[in-house]
A and B are shown apart, each in its own frame.
Chain A
Amino acid sequence: MKTLWLIFSAFFRIGAFAFGGGYAMMPLLEKELVNNNGWVTKDELIDYFALSQITPGAIAINTANFIGYKIKGVIGSITATLGMVMPSLIIIMVIAKLLQQFSDMQIVQHAFAGVRVAVVVLIAQTLYFLIKTSIKGKLSSGLFFGAFLLISLWDINPVYIIILSAVIGYFRFPRQGGQTK
């Protein structure tokens, strides 16, 4: 029981202070999971984090699940996830409720018109990074443009596109790592 409470509170703190998502969370993860509680070594943390990027779902949640599972099996991973999502659930719903009350106000609408422009720029930033790291040759370029066109022009369900890209990747990328040019 005590362990579960420790897991819950550690991941609650991580969830409450993890701004910026993804890699920005690493120092927090290290502090709570390696330094304070000694549940994983720094190397193990990095490994789990890397693994979390290829398993479905949010990276942070996957990391919480892996480490929670390592500490105390299924109940550990459930507790870790609950801890991590709790701050988000509370904060988001409070904000959402407030916005619902005030969304009709002109000033709020003006603010969001500006905010949506910021979102374009922020997405563009992330996209720039993603393109640099994931497109390295003809096959990956083909997959990039293919996916882009399939969804933009023909509105194909992204789920099918993802499955298709996994199948293509399986058959077309070489067996021993590295990438086809």
Chain B
Amino acid sequence: MILALLYYEFFKIGLFTIGGGLAALPLLYNLAEKYPAWFDSTMVTNMIAISESTPGPIAINMATYAGFQTAGFSGGVIATIGFVTPSLIIVTLIARLLQQFRQSSLVERSFQGIRPAVTGLIAAAGLGVAQIALLNTELYTQTGQWLDLLKGKALLLCLFMVIITMRFKRHPIFYIAVAALAGIIFKM
């Protein structure tokens, strides 16, 4: 039964991931909230790093990984198939009407609405990731000291990374590797 549910949920994610793979992020975090037994938001954040470091579209990687976390090998396959199904259906439907679709004012205007909204959703997801990576909310709720809220090493690494990403234009996998090394060396 979990496979059917997995398929359904990733079908939905595939249907509403519009404008690029990153648009799947808010939907995945939402899924993590809805099914805490499947995976949590920290796992989603880890998944992003893996997905950026391996070949293939990031959204596909995320679906495969999330499916695997939830239900092993078959979960990974089902989630991926679920994710690509809406795309297959919609492309088949509109391929015949391609010209009308491309010139459709309805489509263009709707999309003009969707794009900034999805950007807003990604911004919110980004803030959530920042909270997970840079803040220590559990410790803060225990001690009430606001300094405990901040993860010092993480914030320093963040500053360092912002600087080097602005200066050098290297592939994401490079920065992920550097950060992983820093995490190990400084026992973050």
Contacting pair A162 B126 (CB below 8 A): no
**A108-125 interface with B by 8 A CB criterion:** 110-125
Distance A112 CA – B133 CA, assembled complex (angstroms): 10
Q: Are B55 and A16 in contact (CB under 8 A)?
A: yes
The number of chain B residues touching the other chain, given as a range, is 35 or more
> Total interface residues on A, using CB and 8 Å?
93
Complex CA–CA separation, A21 to B60 (angstroms): 10
Interface of A is mostly: helix
Residues of A whose CB lies within 8 Å of any CB of B are: 15-22, 47, 51, 53-62, 65-66, 69-70, 74, 77-78, 81, 84-85, 87-89, 91-93, 95-97, 99, 107, 110-127, 130-131, 134-135, 140-141, 143-148, 151-152, 155, 157-159, 161-162, 164-170, 172-177, 179
Q: Give which listed residue, A21, A57, A115, contacts B58 with CB less than 8 A.
A: A21
Min C-beta distance of A69 to chain B, whole Å: 5
- The one of A85, A110, A158, A168 in contact with B56, judged by C-beta atoms closer than 8 angstroms, is A85
Pick from B14, B98, B176: contact of A56, CB under 8 Å: B14
CB nearest to B107 among chain A residues = A54
> Is B49 within 8 A of A118, CB to CB?
yes
With A and B bound together, what is the CA distance between A51 and B122 in angstroms?
21
A22 touches B20 (CB 8 A): yes
Query: Could you tell me if A60 and B57 are in contact, using CB atoms closer than 8 angstroms?
Result: yes
- What is the CB-to-nearest-CB distance from B33 to chain A, in angstroms, rounded to a whole number? 8
Assess the A81–B112 pair: CB atoms within 8 A: no
Q: In angstroms, how far is the closest chain A Cβ from the Cβ of B16?
A: 5
- Given A122-B175, A159-B12, A166-B113, A92 and B68 contact (CB-CB distance below 8 Å): yes
B119 within 8 A of A: yes
Contact residue among B27, B46, B129 (Cβ-Cβ distance under 8 Å from A120): B129
A166–B175 CA distance with the chains assembled, in angstroms? 35
Q: Are B127 and A152 in contact (CB under 8 A)?
A: yes
CB-CB contacts below 8 Å: B115-166 with A: 115-127, 129-130, 132-134, 154, 157-158, 161-162, 165
Q: Kindly state the separation between the CA atoms of A170 and B107 in the bound complex, as whole angstroms.
A: 8
The interface centre, meaning the residue of B68, B73, B86 with most chain A CB atoms within 10 A of its CB, is B68
Asked if A18 and B55 make an inter-chain contact with CB atoms under 8 angstroms apart, the answer reads yes
- Which chain A residues border B92 with CB–CB below 8 Å? 65, 69, 74, 77
Asked whether A116 lies within 8 Å of B120 as measured between CB atoms, the reply is no
Q: Which residues of B are found within 8 Å of A162, using beta-carbon distances? A: 16, 18, 114, 117-118, 121
B131 to chain A, nearest CB (A): 9
B95 adjacent to A117 (CB under 8 Å):
no
- Residue contact B69 to A61, C-beta cutoff 8 Å: no
